[in-house]
Amino acid sequence: MLEVAGLNAFYGDSHILHGVDLTVDTSDRVSVLGRNGSGKTTLMKSILNAGPRIYGRICLDGADLADEPSFQRARSGLSLVPEDRRSFPHLTVRDNLLIALTAAGKRTGLDIEQVLDTFPMLKPLTARYGSQLSGGQQQMVAVARGVMPRPRCLLLDEPTEGLAPVIVRQLAASLVRLCDEFNIGLLLSEQNIWFARFCTQRVYIIENGRIVFSGSWDEFDSRPDVKHLYLAV
Amino acid sequence: MQIGFALFNGLTVGMSIFLVAAGITLIFGMLKILNIAHGSFFMIGAYVAYSIIGTDPDSTWKLVVAAILSGLVLAALGLLLNASVFQRLRNIGEAYSLIATFALLMICNGVTKIIWGVNYHSVSAPDALAGAVMYGRFFAPSYSLFIIGLGVLTFLVLEIVVHRSSVGKVVRAIAHDPWMANLVGINTSRIYALVVIAAFFCVGMAGGLLLPNQSLSPLLFESYLLQSFIVVIIGGLGNIRGAFVGAIMLGLTEGANFLVLPDIPGILVYIILIGFLLWRPYGLFPQPGADTAGQAGSLAETEDVPATTPPKALLGSVVATVLAVSVLASMPFWANAGFLFIIGFAMVEAVLALSWNLLFGYAGLTTFGHAAFFALGAYFVGFLLRQETGIPFLVLLSSSLVLGALTAFFVGFIAIRRTSGIALGILTLSLGEILRRAINYSPALGSDDGLSGIPRPRIDLGLIVFDLGSERAYFWFLLAACSVVALALWSFTVGPKGRVLVALRQDPIRAEFLGINVRRYRLTAFVISGAIAALAGGLQAPWAQIVTPEAASYLHSTQPMLNTLLGGSGFFWGPIVGSAIFSGINYATRTLAGLSEVVSGGILLLIVLAAPGGVLGLGSRFGRMKHVGALHKRSTVNELTRIG
């Protein structure tokens, strides 16, 4: 469904991604692991054309997105939840979710009540403003907002960063349920291996802007050297 | 009775200002561009409506139709400008977008003069609105009621759209986080375009509807410009409710001014504004994030303005300097009197621009009131020369230097402590306006006419006496003085203190972490800058032999900015190059009213959009491709830290 081939990305003169290849099939759930500064966030942003200068092919359902701007990519079914969450502070939680329906375009998005059912933590907060939420609550809002347009593929950038363990478990459960129920593909960038393993079936490892490993979790487990080389601190 | 009438009048003024201010605050809230040209678009709207209905609209209906047509014309203009200018301004620094909209202001004013001429016209209110409504002992002109109703209606419509409608939610989402808004599928560029079109439609319509409110002339933009700025700043930039409350406050202050200080109209507003800025630099209703005026460091951080670079090719600059000075020194032998006169002005303006760039290019402070220091020096020296006090000229000049330094110290001590960014800009602009009005209404300083017939002095050094009475002699003196000042400034900027300033300009927060007392360095720069500006004024008074209140006007304050940016703010000598080019343009276009503004404004706009490094920046751009400069490295580091 989502195909990335030979992706190079730049910030100014610095070359961040070097020929990244990656695929996410329909309803497939995939992790991208890597250290700080390995290029995970740049990869996510590049797929949405939201910042870096990009060269290479990014195809969604066979159609090359070429130089489509990010709002168009969002409308064609890619939904990015950025690592800094970015819930809209002057809108209520409900409006934060509803505004994301803009990205549903001609498709129909999800019903807000259904989404709220999946994130029980948000139910009592719907009338709060984005600026009145804790970090964990903001992350829930950001993820809920991300699934609202019922994307073909959800791109989650380090969602567990800074979250309490109990919230991480809640988030993992909600996420898997939503993706299963509505056939949403997932591209997850993470450093938390437990969370990544719980949510996804396959894993890529990125290092210095290059994909250095790709395979199932079993294959990952059979290669302790990979884990040591690219993920150990 | 009189009080009620004055306050009612004030309210009318306030509401008419609000009609312009609403557009400014709307555009700022969305695009983060402070559109200085908005008052000029109001003026164009008024002229367009005037062209449609003439001076005597015979029915209210016709006035309204003309206003709507003029709104449509302006909306089309807005669409055009959004695509050609505003869209590009979103990617460059705040200071540069201010300059760009100022360039638009110049172009608009020039075009207005070319199309409609410089004469005053007065349009009468249609009969239905010409009368008055009696209410007991109190009577109110119908037209005033019409304006107040219009203001309130506009406010209600905007309020409902922004805070109650689904469009408003999109608008608020974009205002706070355009990047994320894009990611949830909102076509932000289209919304930006719609907002600009709406703001331009409103201002065009306001221009038409307010035609009978005041006389129509190419100066119309001015009152609306400054006052709507004040309203927007008081209310908190980007805040419609704030602008509405601010407009009422401004109107009532104007009314009170009429009662308390009838001799100096308009001064109370500026005094209150200054107090207000010092008290609440973020406005009445500050919004978190980018919507504030006084946000610390907001000017210095996002800019892609090239930072001032230490000069490298010393020999080259020495040769260029010697060459330039010798050419100038030879001018009295071959240039005609008119040209020589302009060159003399250009030299003084160059010194003024150098002093302004010490703040902008080195200390990272953008001020809009630099002409006040200039006027201070000019009036001081001019006044005392006319009195023939016998004080030696060099003592006078030194005193003007000290006077400028002291004033700058007092102003800077408070202003730099309390404000930065746009708030500092508006604060200094207000101080300049207060000085101009104070001069305007003081008979001892010649009021509107200024001081004329200022004699040129003699310099008695005991052994030698220089008589500067002739044009030629004073020109040489001027050249020598300006060169000395420029060299002194230059040696300051390349010295250790200058280097600290450069560091501080690039990143005040990091500089502070390195143990640099940022505020003290900025104050030092402010004092030096003010002193030199005053000295420039003192030098100019005997050259022009006349000083007028225009010396203190905000239009004069923008001259050093334009010169600096034209030449290149990242280069010490940039302001001088800019002054030379500007004088050349002015000289070449001086005959046709309006044309010089269009040309200067057009060039300025082109520079900001195409070459934010100025003329000198264009030349060194190729050099920089080979040697990656210090600034470039820094930005790369910043980008690297963003990569997760």
The CATH number of the domain where A75 resides is what?
A: 3.40.50.300
- pTM for this predicted structure: 0.82
Residue B210 near residue B19 (C-beta atoms within 8 A):
yes
Residues 6+ apart with CB under 8 A from B617: B306, B568, B570, B571, B611
Asked if residue B640 is part of any domain, the answer here is no
Considering only CB atoms, A70 lies closest to which of B183, B288, B640, namely: B183
- Which residue, B553, B607, B581, B599, is CA-closest to B111? B599
Q: Which pLDDT belongs to residue B621?
A: 56
Residue A195 near residue A172 (C-beta atoms within 8 A):
yes
Q: CA–CA separation, A95 vs B628, rounded Å?
A: 46
Considering only CB atoms, B183 lies closest to which of A48, A95, A158, namely: A48
Q: Which pLDDT belongs to residue B620?
A: 62
Asked if residue B91 is part of any domain, the answer here is yes
Q: CA–CA separation, B100 vs B92, rounded Å?
A: 10
CB-based contact B182 A80, cutoff 8 Å:
no
What is the total count of domains within chain A? 1
CA distance A88 to chain B (A): 6
Q: CA–CA separation, B373 vs B78, rounded Å?
A: 36
Asked if residue B13 is part of any domain, the answer here is no
Residues of B in contact with A190 (CB under 8 A): none
CB-based contact B185 A71, cutoff 8 Å:
yes
Nearest residue of B to residue A33, measured between CA atoms: B644
Structural tokens at position A174: 């909600």
Backbone angles phi, psi at B628, to 5 degrees: -70, 115
Q: Would you call B167 an interface residue with chain A, using a CB distance cutoff of 8 Å?
A: no
Q: Which pLDDT belongs to residue A112?
A: 92
Q: Which pLDDT belongs to residue B207?
A: 93
Q: CA–CA separation, B470 vs B478, rounded Å?
A: 12
Burial (CB < 10 A; 0-12, 13-18, 19+), residue B252, is middle
Q: Strand, coil or helix: what is B351?
A: helix
What single-letter DSSP state applies at residue A214? E
Asked if residue B607 is part of any domain, the answer here is no
Considering only CB atoms, A88 lies closest to which of B177, B632, B644, namely: B177
Q: Would you call B190 an interface residue with chain A, using a CB distance cutoff of 8 Å?
A: no
A53-60/A202-207 β-pairing: unpaired
Q: CA–CA separation, B299 vs B92, rounded Å?
A: 11
Which residues of chain A fall below pLDDT 70?
A: 233
Q: Would you call B182 an interface residue with chain A, using a CB distance cutoff of 8 Å?
A: yes
> In the block, which residue shows the tokens 């803009």?
A102
- Which residue, A222, A167, A228, A192, is CA-closest to A32? A192
Q: CA–CA separation, B61 vs A7, rounded Å?
A: 62
CB-based contact B180 A88, cutoff 8 Å:
yes
Q: Exposed e or buried b for every residue in B304-340, given b needs 16+ CB within 10 A?
A: ebbbbbeeeeeeeeeeebeeeeeebeebbeeeeeeeb
CB proximity under 8 Å: B 581-640 to A: 628, 632, 635-636, 639-640
CB proximity under 8 Å: A 137-196 to B: 145, 149, 157-158, 189
- Which residue, B477, B368, B344, is CA-closest to B419? B368
Residues B322 and B272 in one domain: no
Q: CA–CA separation, B435 vs B371, rounded Å?
A: 10
Residues B371 and B236 in one domain: no
Asked if residue B180 is part of any domain, the answer here is yes
Strand pairing partners for A31?
A: A188, A203
Name the residue type at position A151: P
CB-based contact A86 B188, cutoff 8 Å:
no
What is the total count of domains within chain B? 2
Q: What is the ipTM of this complex?
A: 0.93
For an interface test with A, the pick among B163, B184, B636 (most A C-beta atoms closer than 10 Å) comes out as B184
Asked if residue B451 is part of any domain, the answer here is yes
Residues B38 and B75 in one domain: yes
Considering only CB atoms, B644 lies closest to which of A12, A83, A91, namely: A83
Which residue range forms the structural domain that includes residue B234?
A: 31-294
Residues B36 and B68 in one domain: yes
Which residue range forms the structural domain that includes residue A161?
A: 2-230
Residues B156 and B117 in one domain: yes
Residues B235 and B150 in one domain: yes
CB-based contact B177 A39, cutoff 8 Å:
no
Q: Which pLDDT belongs to residue A4?
A: 94
Residues B206 and B335 in one domain: no
Q: Exposed e or buried b for every residue in A176-199, given b needs 16+ CB within 10 A?
A: eebbeebebbbbbbbbbeebbbeb
User: Mean pLDDT in each 10-residue stretch from start to end of chain B (644 residues)?
Assistant: 80 91 90 89 95 86 93 96 90 76 90 91 84 78 89 93 87 89 93 93 93 88 83 83 91 87 81 82 60 34 46 72 88 87 92 93 86 96 90 92 95 82 80 87 86 88 82 92 93 86 80 84 93 96 92 87 84 88 82 80 84 70 43 38 38
Task: Tell me how crowded residue A207 is: count the other CB atoms within 10 A of its CB.
Answer: 18
Asked if residue B472 is part of any domain, the answer here is yes
